[in-house]
């Protein structure tokens, strides 16, 4: 990535942080988190707990879209598939660790071979 593009990404991130900070500081309900349904504040603690997974899902989706914008589609898919493969290996390790160990040893031994000129 050339210097001009990285400066642009930094400016976009800083501008977003500045806007978020200003919106937080100057909003009338700043520093106060409340859940409202049909304009009425919700005081039931179970409803507040139920809102947490939805909030986390929205944060995850926003983070994925921001990563897609910054990295581009190809890099985003590559990182996604690498993480998916790592998750698959992590799930298989408790039951198939001897097979995984043999595969890792075979790959490491074949990669140690001499270099052809």
Is residue 77 included in any domain, yes or no?
A: yes
Express each pLDDT in 30-84 by its tens digit. Answer: 666 677 778 887 777 777 677 778 888 988 999 888 888 888 888 888 988 999 9
- Residues 111 and 103: beta-carbon distance below 8 Å: no
pLDDT of residue 84: 92
Is residue 4 included in any domain, yes or no?
A: no
d(CA 19, CA 36): 24
- Residues 47 and 35: beta-carbon distance below 8 Å: yes
pLDDT at 116 over 80: no
Is residue 11 included in any domain, yes or no?
A: no
pLDDT of residue 81: 92
Rounded to an integer, the average pLDDT of 82-110 is: 83
CB atoms within 10 A of CB 22: 10
DSSP reduced 3-state for 44: coil
Is residue 51 included in any domain, yes or no?
A: no
- Hey, CA dihedral for 45, 54, 83, 16, is it positive or negative? negative
Query: In total, how many domains does the chain have?
Result: 1
Is residue 43 included in any domain, yes or no?
A: no
Is residue 97 included in any domain, yes or no?
A: yes
Q: What is the mean pLDDT of the chain?
A: 80
pLDDT of residue 105: 87
């Amino acid at each position: 990535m050339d210097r001009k593009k990285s400066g642009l990404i930094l400016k976009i991130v800083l501008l977003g942080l500045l806007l978020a900070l200003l919106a937080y500081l100057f909003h009338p309900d700043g520093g106060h988190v409340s859940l409202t349904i049909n304009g009425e504040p919700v005081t039931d603690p179970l409803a507040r707990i139920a809102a947490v997974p939805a909030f986390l899902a929205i944060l995850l989706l926003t983070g994925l879209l921001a990563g897609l914008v910054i990295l581009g589609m190809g890099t985003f898919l590559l990182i996604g598939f690498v993480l998916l493969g790592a998750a698959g290996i992590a799930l298989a390790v408790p039951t198939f660790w001897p097979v995984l160990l043999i595969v890792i040893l075979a790959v490491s031994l074949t990669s140690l071979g001499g270099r052809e000129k």
